Every structure is written in structure tokens, then in C-alpha cells.
């Protein structure tokens, strides 16, 4: 960000002179004002107010926190995985928007809509993220989206340039489809075989959640699967498992987190991007959330 941050020597974190604190205040104010001039933000300047709690009362902690942020990107650069800040910021925000819908944080929903649109996502792509989040957040999630962005969503123009994504990420709507017969409500024997085959080919096993629903309420599973299969039309297919990494770090569901990592691996998400998604998620779950990651996917990462 500035010379104040990204010190290679971590022992320099604690000291914060009056001059450095003034520089910090100026930097954040300048950044917000620049965003306003570009038309990027409207209304909710939570980054200014939230940061102010640290800047005013614990500038050493602010310095330590923002020193950590470049390390996420440096790791991607050092491994040769990614050199574009824009791509890294988009990947993070792809996880942020469904997270804020699940959290119920309307300010975050609003800002991520504007940020992702500014970065190049179309209205159709944003709505794919919303529908995917709805699978976890229910109707409450949709109401929160309405509360947050209904006024801007009605006539939101698409950006002039498309959003950049990590190498190899691309739309593939057919990848989601198992081949269900949607002309009938019941789960047919052919449907059951198709589901089993899709999971076995893609991640190597049938998850317990699928086995349970197939055994006790197969019609419910068919309805759920039919919704899941049609969500992603414009966004890269890799967005689904990448968002799932964040969702299940938040829920602490080890089985679902493992499923997300294996689906991402099958669909071409690299090991480094998977680790990036887990570590950045720990910024929101707390460091201890990596216990869940270790239990769920350590063996997967070791043998990637």
C-alpha cells in the first residue's frame, strides 16, 4: 500500500510514530476520496469507519493487519501462480459476496455488488453468485439482497470490459449436469445411476449428504440438484467450488469442505489457488478455522 505497510522485518510492526499515524489517516482518506471521484462507491463507507477504530486506538494492530494482506498476493506471485492484483481481488470478492449474504450483512452485500461490477462482472454473473448463495442462505438471503441492492439492480448497466479470472477458469454449464430426467418429478433409477456416476467420476465418491437424501427423500434431492445444475451459465465453473471453500470454512463442515476442494481440483483449480481460498477465508473465520481445513483436506493437498 505505502511504505508504512509490507515491511519484510516483522519486528518493526509495533512502533507507530505520530508522523506515521498521520500518514495512515491521510492514506485512507485519500483512497476513499479517489474511489468517490471514480464513481466506484456510493453510500456505505464502512472501510473508513471500521478502519478508524484501529487507526485511532490501535495503530500497531492496523499496521500488522495490513502488512498481512500483501503476503497473500506475494505467495501467488512467488509460486508463479498469478501476477495480477485485479484477478486476486476478483477471486476474493467472489467468496465475499456469498459470505455476506450468508452473514446477513447488508452493507457488505452492497459494497461487493459495486466492487465486482466495477471489476467487470455483469449483472447476470452477479445474479449467479446470488442464486448460489441462496442455496445456503435460503429466502432470508434473497431478502437481504433486495434490501441491499434492489434500487441499483433494476437498471444496473454491464461494465465495458469483462472481468479477468485465474488462468484456465472458464464457463462450462454442462459440467454441472448429471443427466437427470426433468420431465418427471420422481427420481428414476436412471437418475440415481447418473448421480452416482457423476460424483464418482468427479470427486471419487458419493457424499453422505447425497446418500442420505437419495435414501430418504429422493424427490428433494432431485429438486435441489436441478437448481444447482442451472445456476452457473456465465461465470467460470470453478467459481462454484471456490465459493464453497469459503462457505464451509465458515460453517466448519469438514465433509463439505473436502467435497469443495476435490471438486475444484477436478475442475482445474490449482493447489495454490485452493490454499489461497482457504487462508484468506481464515481471515474471516479466525485462524483456528484452519483446523477444519487441516482435518478436511490436508491429505488432498499433500498428494496434489
Q: Residue 47 has which C-alpha cell?
A: 472501510
Are 297 and 260 in contact by the 8 Å Cβ rule? The answer is: no
Contact 125, 117 (CB under 8 A): no
Alpha helices by DSSP H, listed for 79-217, are: 85-103, 106-119, 123-153, 189-202, 208-216
pLDDT along the chain (304 residues), means of 10: 54 64 63 52 63 85 78 84 92 96 94 92 98 96 97 91 96 98 96 98 98 98 97 98 98 98 98 96 95 98 96
Q: Which residues have C-beta within 8 Å of that of residue 13, sequence separation ≥ 6?
A: 7, 60, 63, 64, 67
Query: CB-based burial of residue 260 (10 Å sphere; 0-12 exposed, 13-18 middle, 19+ buried)?
Result: buried
Q: What is the pLDDT of residue 82?
A: 92
Return all residues near 189 (Cβ < 8 A) that are at least 6 apart: none
228, 263 Cβ separation under 8 angstroms: no
Cβ contacts of 267-272, under 8 Å, gap ≥ 24? 267/172, 267/175, 267/237, 267/238, 267/241, 268/168, 268/169, 268/238, 269/166, 269/169, 269/238, 269/241, 269/242, 270/81, 270/166, 271/301, 271/304, 272/75, 272/76, 272/79, 272/81, 272/82
The pLDDT assigned to 69 comes to: 72
Rounded CA-CA distance 195/202 in Å is: 11
CB 239 within 8 A of CB 279: no
CA distance 232 to 171: 8
Say what the pTM is. Answer: 0.87
Closest C-alpha among 225, 228, 229, 218 to residue 186: 218
Give the pLDDT score at 10. 57
The one-character DSSP state at 205 is S
The pLDDT value given to residue 184: 96
Neighbours of 169 (CB within 10 A): 20
Amino acid at each position: 500500500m505505502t511504505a508504512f505497510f509490507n515491511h519484510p522485518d516483522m519486528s518493526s510492526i509495533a512502533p507507530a510514530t505520530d508522523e506515521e499515524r498521520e500518514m495512515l489517516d491521510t492514506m485512507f482518506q485519500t483512497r476513499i476520496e479517489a474511489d468517490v471521484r471514480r464513481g466506484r462507491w456510493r453510500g456505505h463507507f464502512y472501510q473508513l469507519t471500521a478502519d478508524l477504530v484501529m487507526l485511532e486506538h490501535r495503530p500497531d494492530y492496523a499496521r500488522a493487519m495490513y502488512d498481512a494482506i500483501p503476503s497473500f498476493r506475494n505467495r501467488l506471485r512467488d509460486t508463479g501462480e498469478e501476477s495480477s492484483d485485479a484477478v486476486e481481488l476478483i477471486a476474493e470478492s467472489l467468496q465475499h459476496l456469498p459470505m455476506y449474504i450468508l452473514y446477513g450483512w447488508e452493507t457488505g452485500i452492497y459494497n461487493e455488488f459495486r466492487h465486482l461490477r466495477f471489476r467487470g462482472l455483469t449483472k447476470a454473473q452477479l445474479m449467479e453468485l446470488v442464486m448460489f448463495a441462496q442455496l445456503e442462505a435460503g429466502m432470508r438471503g434473497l431478502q437481504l439482497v433486495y434490501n441491499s441492492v434492489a434500487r441499483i439492480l433494476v437498471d444496473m448497466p454491464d461494465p465495458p470490459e469483462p472481468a479477468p479470472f485465474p488462468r484456465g477458469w472458464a464457463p462450462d454449464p454442462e459440467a454441472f449436469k448429471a443427466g437427470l430426467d426433468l420431465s418427471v418429478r420422481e427420481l428414476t433409477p436412471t437418475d440415481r445411476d447418473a448421480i452416482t456416476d457423476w460424483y464418482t467420476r468427479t470427486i471419487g465418491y458419493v457424499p453422505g449428504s447425497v446418500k442420505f437424501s437419495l435414501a430418504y427423500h429422493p424427490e428433494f434431492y432431485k429438486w435441489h440438484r436441478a437448481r444447482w445444475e442451472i445456476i452457473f451459465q456465465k461465470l467460470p465453473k470453478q467459481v462454484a467450488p471456490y465459493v464453497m471453500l469459503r462457505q464451509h470454512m465458515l460453517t466448519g463442515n469438514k465433509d463439505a469442505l473436502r467435497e469443495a476442494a476435490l471438486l475444484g481440483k477436478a475442475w482445474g483449480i490449482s493447489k495454490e489457488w485452493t490454499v489461497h481460498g482457504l487462508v484468506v477465508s481464515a481471515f474471516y473465520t479466525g485462524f483456528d478455522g484452519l483446523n477444519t481445513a487441516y482435518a478436511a483436506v490436508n491429505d488432498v493437498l499433500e498428494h496434489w
